[in-house]
Amino acid sequence: MATLEIRDLHVSVDTESGTKEILRGVDLTVRAGETHAVMGPNGSGKSTLAYAIAGHPKYTVTQGSLTLDGEDLLTMSVDERARAGLFLAMQYPVEVPGVTVSSFLRTAKAAVDGEPPKLRTWVKEVREAMDRLRMDPAFAERNVNEGFSGGEKKRHEILQMELLRPKLAVLDETDSGLDVDALRVVSEGVNRVVSAGQTGVLLITHYTRILRYIQPQFVHVFVDGRFVEHGGPELADRLEAEGYDRFLAPTASA
């Protein structure tokens, strides 16, 4: 069973005014088949956690460990982490001019599996996955994310996830900018991957609306660079009713 383990993770970033610590001792375990929701206010460090796991060079790990199936991710480059089974769906997916979606997907699949998929079966698999996500097949021949709407970009992220079947998927505010219909379609895609039992999901979000469609077994509240409370789905309901004030008040008074 694939397992991501984060232990006492501290992460800093260089700013104009000097080095700033953003993550201040993060501990978390995510196993295949599990969905963990990380919730917290703006500026709490949730996205920093996502990018630190993925290996973004902007963020420096100063303390702690990060392993996937016992392998030390901190010694790996970004592409090595992807080949090891790590997937990041970004909040703001980037455009890749000159590279078609079909070429991008097949290249990514070949990199993860160590060999390119058989073209005939691969084309069929891509078309079926696009159909499930209600994507126009013509998108396969468009350049990655060029001219895509916000919803189309997010569907493309989940398309990658469905086809690559990573061990661990980090979804950074996948619900951002989605209308109700797109949110439902994207959530169904995530649920299909999780239900296969081979992928663990770390779902980062501000709001509970996506949790109406993707039901996490575990909910974690993230404030000021660390987890301040853990629970089940009922914790998300409490956050919906009460917000984050009870976690922020001690910080404000200090």
Count up the domains in the chain and report the number: 1
In a domain, 149, yes or no: no
Residue 67 maps to which CATH number?
3.40.50.300
| Structure-block tokens of residue 167 | 């061990």
Q: Which domain holds residue 190?
A: 3-93+166-253
In a domain, 232, yes or no: yes
In a domain, 78, yes or no: yes
Q: Dmax over Cα atoms in the chain, in whole Å?
A: 63
Say how far apart CA 42 and CA 224 lie, in whole Å: 10
Answer whether residue 177 shows pLDDT above 90. no
Strand partners, 65: 7
* Cα atoms in the Cβ-side hemisphere of radius 13 Å centred on 239: 28
47-82: per-residue pLDDT in tens? Answer: 999 999 999 999 999 999 999 999 999 999 999 999
Burial class of residue 72 in the structure, from the number of CB atoms within 10 Å of its CB (0-12 exposed, 13-18 middle, 19+ buried):
exposed
In a domain, 230, yes or no: yes
The predicted model gives 108-135 an average pLDDT of 93
* Residue of 203, 239, 233, 228 lying closest to 215 (CA atoms): 233
For residue 243, the model assigns a pLDDT of: 87
193-219: per-residue pLDDT in tens? Answer: 999 989 999 999 988 889 999 999 999
For residue 247, the model assigns a pLDDT of: 85
In a domain, 77, yes or no: yes
The predicted model gives 118-127 an average pLDDT of 92
Answer whether residue 126 shows pLDDT above 90. yes
Mean pLDDT, the chain, integer: 92
